[in-house]
Amino acid sequence: MKKVVTITGIRPDFIRMSEIFKKLDENFNHILVHTGQHYDKLLSDVFFDELKIRKPDYNLGIGAEGKTHYQQQADLSVKIIELLRDESIYPDIILFLGDSNSVLASVPLRKEGYKIGHIEAGMRSGDKRMFEEINRTICDHCSDLLFVYHEDYKQNCIRENISEENIFVVGNTIVEPCKPIAAALLKEEESINHILLDIHRPENFKDKIRLREIIQYAIMCQKKFNIPVKFLKFKRTFEYLKDFGIDFSELSVIDMMSYKKYLEETYYSAFVISDSGTAQEEAALLGVPVVVPRDFTERPQSVEAGCSYMLDVVDIESWKNSFEWVVLSLYNIMNTGWLGDGTTSDRIIGILKEKL
């Protein structure tokens, strides 16, 4: 039986990989490696139980309070090579998903001669301020098999001289874990009672002007739509809010939560204000519009389909246009065709069987 190693390190990627893990277990000798990049209580046994993800075979423990991205990368590069060597693991392919620091392990692994596969390949925002943009581009160019969500992403790879024969359009992995939870929710008019605010990208929280304007925009939304804004308490964002002396006392702060609870909060939102890429996908599946306070997005299909609005945070006209867009969006049915048909994990397994 062919041996497949998966290397995953952060909550969103475990969510996206949850169905793939199960099918890898059924079809291959699957070794699940957790890098430990995320290590807090929200990636505890409860999280794995909620998504029915089995316990990882190994945890490399690269995450720690105050550890820089380059320290994580260095530790992971050494530890993953040592793990494969010391445990005599000889994989036919090593799979990564996404664009976190964990995918940079593809560099030393490629140099050591391992075959690499990248799920969520081909995404590009063109914004080099994002660590994620750098990470995913590097992983794509280290990969032998590239699993892309959309034809647009395939074309991105081809433009970068990646061989077309190595690129496979499979649809979006988020559909499978998200849809069952969405199907269990019942939307009642009186339940739509808040706006959800989620800001966690460094290009926003490290920029005093951008962060201040996003908070002011949220406060204006609260007044405009006469419902409270629930502000997700992302630790680093709140540290910068304090350091910059930005007043957010008019907003209701809520703690980070489980995946199911997060989807519920999204579902019962009038709309979401978020710089998360994944939020553009999940909210669309839940029929909720998203205002995206960013200059660029690696998910332009969401904007083209009318699921997201790109907010220029320093342009008051963009703010006004966003209010009109939100009102119109509340009465439209979301077009989610750009996310695929929910059979991504089966497609990936089929391709792996053929290519290995």
**Ranges of the chain whose pLDDT falls below 50:** none
Backbone angles phi and psi of 5, in degrees to 5: -105, 130
Give the pLDDT score at 42. Answer: 62
Tens digit of pLDDT for each residue in 128-156?
Answer: 888 899 999 999 999 999 999 999 999 99
End-to-end CA distance of the chain: 10
Q: Which helix (H) or strand (E) holds 191?
A: none
**Cα–Cα distance measured from residue 279 to residue 285, given in angstroms and rounded to the nearest whole number:** 10
Determine the angle formed by the axes of helices 259-267 and 277-285, rounding to 10 degrees.
60
Tens digit of pLDDT for each residue in 222-271?
Answer: 999 999 999 999 999 999 999 999 999 999 999 989 899 999 999 999 99
Backbone angles phi and psi of 335, in degrees to 5: -90, 110
Give the pLDDT score at 38. Answer: 64
Give the pLDDT score at 85. Answer: 97
Give the pLDDT score at 30. Answer: 98
**Cα–Cα distance measured from residue 307 to residue 325, given in angstroms and rounded to the nearest whole number:** 10
Give the pLDDT score at 189. Answer: 60
Binning the chain into helix, strand and coil, the percentages to the nearest 5 are 50, 15, 35
- CB-CB neighbours of 112 under 10 Å: 11
**Cα–Cα distance measured from residue 244 to residue 208, given in angstroms and rounded to the nearest whole number:** 6
Give the pLDDT score at 319. Answer: 97
Tokens 């060597």 belong to residue: 85
Give me 342's structure tokens: 């929910």
Q: Walk me through the domains of the chain, giving residue ranges and CATH numbers.
A: 3-172+340-355 (3.40.50.2000), 180-338 (3.40.50.2000)
pTM across the whole model: 0.94
Q: Pick from 256, 208, 235, 276: which is nearest to 66 by CA? A: 235
Q: What is the DSSP letter of 170?
A: -
